[in-house]
Amino acid sequence: MIVADHVTFQYAESSEPALRDISLSIDDGDFVGITGTSGAGKSTLAMALNGIVPHEWKGDFYGSVKIDGMDTVEHQTEDFCRKIGEVFQDIDSQMVASVVEDEILFGLENFGVPHGEIKIRLEKVLEDLGIPDLRKREISSLSGGQKQKVAIAAILALEPRILVLDEPTGELDPESSREIFGLLRKLNEEKGITIVIIEQKIKLLCEYVKRLIVLDKGALAFDGVPGEIISHIETFKTLGINVPPVAELSYLLRQSGVYDGGITLTVQEAEKMVREVLHDPV
């Protein structure tokens, strides 16, 4: 469990805080999305959740973050890296090897995983992510989606309980993006791994995450179940975030008085709503 208590952080070279008075807790087994416009503080928050801020990025840090009760300021990042793994926004700078299996082996060897266990973990993680065929491939020859899976595999091989991903689908097409979200859902549901995903693709967030956190200029604007917070459509617009069209449709139908159900987040839900409005149940 991660608990952030009144966290404010200002980078050393900056004139204003990147995070302003953030309090939130992330429970074990949760699937949380963090969104907001560019510069809202998403990456900074992700790095504050595992102690990289303020250990590796210096600045003024107020408040506290505790990972399973351990204060990130009082401990070193190495104390947490077994519990919490992060796939950074720029995966190319995170990757160290040129061949897929070496990338995964690098972390396992560095973490001092016993020799006999290394091969088992390598094969298991490739299997879990559905990429055993990529094992011997050059990373430079992979597609964006495949590369993202390898980056996730390298972190997952270390068996963290919490996985933080910073815009993992930023450079992916809609199909590969959906595939990554599906994979994360599977890891969350089948392995109980806590997922924190930073993402600007609000439509996918609404469909997949259990809880959505919205940042605006470093502060918490919303924190709740997507179906509830998305109903604040006007506020989302003022924050510069376009809610999914299916959500807006249900909002408009509700405003016009022909529909009194909840906000729809998927095309399937919207279809059900339209049939209800048209009295066309088939």
Ligand X SMILES: Nc1ncnc2c1ncn2[C@@H]1O[C@H](COP(=O)(O)OP(=O)(O)OP(=O)(O)O)[C@@H](O)[C@H]1O
Q: Which residue has the tokens 């990529």?
A: 134
By CB under 5 A, the residues from 61 to 100 that bind Mg ion are: 89
CB of 162 to ligand X, least distance (A): 19
Among 43, 148, 194, 250, binds Mg ion (CB under 5 A): 43
In the bound state with ligand X, the residue whose beta carbon lies nearer, of 40 and 154, is 40
Kindly write out the interface string for residues 13-52 of this chain, putting x where it contacts ligand X by CB under 6 A and - elsewhere.
xx---x-----------------x-xxxxxxx--------
Joined tokens for residue 276: 């209800």
Determine the distance from the C-alpha atom of residue 168 to the mean position of all C-alpha atoms in its chain, rounded to a whole number. Answer: 8
Using CB under 6 A as the binding rule, whether residue 203 contacts ligand X is answered as no
d(C-alpha 207, C-alpha 185), whole Å? 11
Side-chain half-sphere CA neighbours of 147 within 13 A: 23
Using CB under 6 A as the binding criterion, the count of chain residues that bind ligand X stands at 14
The gap from C-alpha 123 to its chain's centroid, in whole angstroms, comes to 25
Q: Which is nearer to ligand X, 12 or 282 (CB)?
A: 12
* Count of residues near Mg ion by CB under 5 A: 3
Find the shortest distance in angstroms from Cβ 11 to ligand X.
3
The secondary structure of residue 99, as a DSSP letter, is: B
Binding to ligand X (CB under 6 A): which residues in 84-113? 89
Look up tokens 């999305």; give the residue.
33
Strand order across the beta sheet in which 59-67 lies: 19-26, 2-11, 59-67, 70-71
11 contributes a contact to ligand X by CB under 6 A = yes
**Least distance (Å) between residue 22 CB and ligand X:** 12
What is the spatial distance between Cα 12 and Cα 78, in angstroms, rounded to a whole number? Answer: 23
The residues that touch ligand X, with contacts defined as CB under 6 A, are: 11, 13-14, 18, 36, 38-44, 57, 89
